[in-house]
Amino acid sequence: MNWKNDITEKLNSDYSIIQAPMFGVTTPEMVAAATKAGCLGSLPLGDLPVEKCRDVIRTTKQLSPKLFAVNLFANDIPVLTETLKAKYGAVKQFIENLAAEHGLTIVLPRIDEISVTSYHEQLDIILQEGIKVVSFTFGNLDQQSIQMLKDNGITLIGTCTSVEEAKTLEASGIDILCVQGLEAGGHRGSFTLDNVAMIGGMSLLSQVFDAVKVPLVYAGGIYNSRTLLATEALGAKGFQVGSLLLGSAESALKEFEKERLRNVKESEIVLTKSFSGRYARGIKNAFIEAVEQNDVILPYPYQNKLTNEVRKVAKANGNTDFVSIWLGQSNNGYSGDSTFEILKKLIAQTEQADHS
């Protein structure tokens, strides 16, 4: 395994392994541990307000002297029509009632109480903090932002879930593409909310490789040397791991959530829009079943805003029925070791497999 390639060069890392930006799971400690292991750490900013972005970036910088990426949500924000406002009210009521039936007393925010952050607001802080790698998902950045980031010497990593999205990103001058197979845990990186591509990694990665020239990172199902080397055979030069780190010491998941992960059955892993209004892969629970059955799903980010509070309360109460536990289709055992140890083990195993 020759790890050195144009990806390690651009990312200034020893290994072309990327720790996936998992909003709600990835901590500054996880990012620092990944960089310490010679990999690229990725700090997810999600829809954090600007001041929070500054805080997590600074915390991460304090923990690690090395370069790390920040990850942005590049989605458009749907206009708040009267219809959407009315539906918000109905969904709010449904979820409050559902939670009450399950013993969780909560009051969810009214629509005038929520605030939505766009990635445009986060760009200044990224420049100010001297970030050198920006990855993004849920769409493409606008051309002006792309130009501005590139002018500032920033390497851009876009996420694609179809060949069409890959071509769009390449045409926009994005440096590296993260190809997200259907196997991946958490949110699909699709550009749209509906009619999204559901393409398995085997087809997607090889087809994207056929269609574009930019270097490719693969995400979705990598958990050991065999899966890593398979994606290399398909054309990936970089390897992103997320689910492999869910159980790690640095994961923000609570112990009861890690326990649930370790007990998960294959048939419990589903794709659902119920928590956020975007497809995400996670463990089926009472919340998902009730929301899907009653079709009370707002477009992202509104569904997400609405369910934030339920999840927070459920998490504090150790209630697996109302938290979103995301994970991919490869059960990796969800080791409780440190991120450093887990990544070093993957690297060692890959090098050994390669020499056998």
Residues binding its own copies (CB under 8 A)? 162-164, 181-183, 195, 197-204, 206-207, 209, 220-224, 226-227, 229-235, 266-267, 271, 328-331
Q: Which is nearer to its own copies, 106 or 202 (CB)?
A: 202
Residue among 314, 269, 317 nearest 287 (CA): 314
The continuous run of DSSP H or E covering 82 comes out as helix 82-101
Q: In the complex, what is the shortest distance from the CB of residue 181 to its own copies, in angstroms, rounded to a whole number?
A: 5
The continuous run of DSSP H or E covering 46 comes out as strand 42-46
Rounded to an integer, what distance in angstroms lies between the CA atom of residue 200 and that of residue 183? Answer: 7
Residue with tokens 């997200």: 180
Backbone angles phi and psi of 188, in degrees to 5: -65, 140
Q: Which is nearer to its own copies, 266 or 295 (CB)?
A: 266
Q: Say if CB 224 and CB 332 are below 8 A apart.
A: yes
Backbone angles phi and psi of 238, in degrees to 5: -130, 155
Q: In the complex, what is the shortest distance from the CB of residue 84 to its own copies, in angstroms, rounded to a whole number?
A: 24
Q: Say if CB 116 and CB 49 are below 8 A apart.
A: no
Q: In the complex, what is the shortest distance from the CB of residue 149 to its own copies, in angstroms, rounded to a whole number?
A: 28
Q: In the complex, what is the shortest distance from the CB of residue 290 to its own copies, in angstroms, rounded to a whole number?
A: 17
Q: State how far the alpha carbon of 223 is from the alpha carbons of 137, 335, 349, in Å.
A: 22, 11, 11
Q: In the complex, what is the shortest distance from the CB of residue 330 to its own copies, in angstroms, rounded to a whole number?
A: 4
Q: Which is nearer to its own copies, 104 or 228 (CB)?
A: 228
Collapsed DSSP state (helix, strand, coil) of residue 324: coil
Q: Say if CB 243 and CB 219 are below 8 A apart.
A: no
Q: Which is nearer to its own copies, 222 or 310 (CB)?
A: 222
Q: Say if CB 58 and CB 36 are below 8 A apart.
A: no
Backbone angles phi and psi of 122, in degrees to 5: -90, -10
Q: In the complex, what is the shortest distance from the CB of residue 308 to its own copies, in angstroms, rounded to a whole number?
A: 28
Q: In the complex, what is the shortest distance from the CB of residue 229 to its own copies, in angstroms, rounded to a whole number?
A: 5
Q: Which is nearer to its own copies, 32 or 178 (CB)?
A: 178
Rounded to an integer, what distance in angstroms lies between the CA atom of residue 44 and that of residue 122? Answer: 12
Q: In the complex, what is the shortest distance from the CB of residue 212 to its own copies, in angstroms, rounded to a whole number?
A: 14
Q: Which is nearer to its own copies, 99 or 182 (CB)?
A: 182
Q: Which is nearer to its own copies, 180 or 308 (CB)?
A: 180
In the sheet that 280-283 helps form, which strands lie side by side, from edge to edge? 186-187, 280-283, 269-272
Q: Which is nearer to its own copies, 81 or 195 (CB)?
A: 195
